[in-house]
Amino acid sequence: MLAEYKQVREELLGVIDRMNQRAISREEGKIQENLGHLKEKLLENAFYLVVLGQFKRGKSTFINSLLGEKLLPTSVVPLTSIITLLKYGDNEKVTVVFVDGKHKIISRDELVDYVTEKGNPKNEKQVAQVIIEYPSDYLKEGVHIIDTPGVGSIFENNTEMTYNFLPKVDAALFLLAVDPPISQSELDFLKDVRQYVHKIFFIQNKIDYMDEEERKESMLFSKKVLEEALGHDDIRIFPLSAKWALEAKIKGDSKKLELSCLPDFDKTLSDFLMKEKAQVFLNSVIQSARKLLADEEFAVKLKLKAIATPLKDLEEKIKLFEEQLENIQQEKHDNSYLFEAEIKRLMDQLDREIERMQQKHLPKLLEELKQTGEENKHLGATEYAKVMNEKLKQGIVETFDRWVSDQEERLNEEYSRISRRFSDRTNKIIESLMEASAKLFDIQLERVETDEAISAERRFYYLLGDPPKFFDLEGALDFFSRAVLPKGFSQTKALKKLIKKLPDRIDANCGRVRADFMRRIKESFLDFRWNLNMKIDATAESIRRALDKAVEMKKTSSAEVEKLEKELKEELATIEELKNELQRIINSMAEVA
């Protein structure tokens, strides 16, 4: 899987390593930092694939079939609400992460004691997630597979851990089965998922249960239901037998593997990750590398021009450059100041949106809750609590969660717009630096466009962490249950007390969401600003070092100058080779696309 991506990444890492060796030999720290940043991006870039499906759809068997190993336990009993993340490791390692943050290393055989209902009923062991490292080629190039509980348990409990992963996901693999076909709970969950995941692959598993005619009939039914529910008329469903695929991989049976239909789906998934996701990311890294090479080439040409300039003229030109550099550095500080002001404005907008949401929606929702309570006070305590809990979920919880999702989308778009603008400003500052020295020494500039602002994803949380927490009314619901159930405590009093306390809980949750958004925006801003300033400083350092070196050499013998001139021409030839190598990589990616 991802053979093209692996090859391009390895070739690109090779070019970056060669560039870094040159930077080390010349003791150019800023360029090394930039190259280190690019290498880190390449090494850490991961493809997140989340596997979703209702209970008994064969999710665990499907994941095992991808890996060719019976790694995850398969059972007729349901899993608890536990997320299992599979990633590459040189050796197999299973880590249980608990709610309190503690970790425990277990064996593969012990998995059933933590992720199944039988071994861990109602998650009594307080497991937050399980992380499995495994030496599979499928996971080797940064693929992370996220296994989730059955759809029903996720939808009803609004499992926070699942939603924390969704915005980072590159593709969702949604498993259906030929019998029974798609259910209403799956459709409900899909409507929730598609707010976060823009690419969903539908897989109809267990094709081995039916003959070809029955299988087609079931797939056509599911396709029609999906297209009507999601409003698309081009839904594609991939047939699959995870059972056959796993058996085939274990036994090395290529014919049975073809019958399972896994190779067809695997190719489609690989094409998506390479063409729609990886190419955007790889192109960004390549352009950044090209920009660094162009800067290096400019610095070398600058040295060549400078050592050919009489010393007195050279010193005068350097003085003029330093004066212009001082002005440019002021532009850099102004850029940071204006960027910070824009981020503050974004935060102020968030405060106003929170206040507007509370004023517009919550009074109405509380009134509806009160009305529901009055209309159902004839019910018994247990039934009354059930009705009120459902009203809370449908009204306040869903409204708040929908608002959080809308705000996240708005903030992402606004942050992207701001960062794009200041990335452009930074590029102009760097260009003015280059032009200042180019004019002084009559050097032709090569312009390379970079898009550091949103190189891999347009969402700031992709860089820095999880999405905001969803609205939590657990305390309110617990209070409600305690309030209505004790004997002699009237439903009316319980309802009044609940409605009185809810605004405070709502306000507290608004504060929590605000703090989470603020933290992520601020951290994104600081990280991004640091990257912008680092690029400006690297360019200034490169030019200054070139000029200083030229002055130093002008004070040596003509033989030393000739030696340096020869070395510089060799450097230009090496840079040209690296530029050609990057162009070759670009051409090979275009052929794949």
Phi-psi region of 488 (alpha: psi -120 to 50; beta: other; left: phi over 0): left
Percent of the chain with pLDDT over 90: 10
Q: Are 81 and 163 in contact (CB under 8 A)?
A: no
Is pLDDT above 50 for 102? yes
**Mean pLDDT, range 278-298, rounded to an integer:** 79
Give me the pLDDT at residue 94, please.
Answer: 93
- Residues with Cβ < 8 Å from 130, sequence gap 6 or more? 82, 83, 84, 85, 94, 95, 96, 97, 111, 114, 115
Q: What's the pTM?
A: 0.52
Q: How many CB atoms lie within 10 A of CB 26?
A: 16
Cβ contacts of residue 593 below 8 Å, gap of 6+? 275, 279
Do 201 and 261 meet the contact criterion of CB atoms below 8 Å apart?
no
Rounded Cα–Cα distance for residues 176 and 240 (Å)? 10
Cβ neighbours for 186, distance < 8 A, ≥ 6 positions apart = 53, 54, 151, 174, 176
* Bond before 135 cis per omega within 30 degrees: no
Q: How would residue 581 be classed by pLDDT, with cut points 50, 70 and 90? A: very high
Q: How many beta carbons lie within 10 A of that of residue 493, not counting itself?
A: 11
pLDDT in tens, 356-389: 888 887 788 788 888 888 888 788 777 777 787 7
pLDDT of res. 248 = 93
pLDDT of residue 47: 75
DSSP state of 151: H
Beta strands in 288-430 (DSSP E): none
Domain spans, the chain = 3-42+286-592, 47-260
Average pLDDT, rounded, for the chain: 76
Q: What is the DSSP letter of 178?
A: S
48, 165 contact by CB (below 8 A): yes
pLDDT for the residue numbered 17:
93
Which one-letter amino acid corresponds to residue 501?
A: K
Q: Is the pLDDT of residue 174 over 60?
A: yes
303 Cβ contact list (under 8 Å, min separation 6):
546, 549, 550, 564, 568
> What's the N-to-C CA distance of the chain in angstroms?
16
Which CATH code is given to the segment(s) 47-260?
Answer: 3.40.50.300
> Minimal CA–CA distance to 65: which of 214, 257, 235, 302?
257
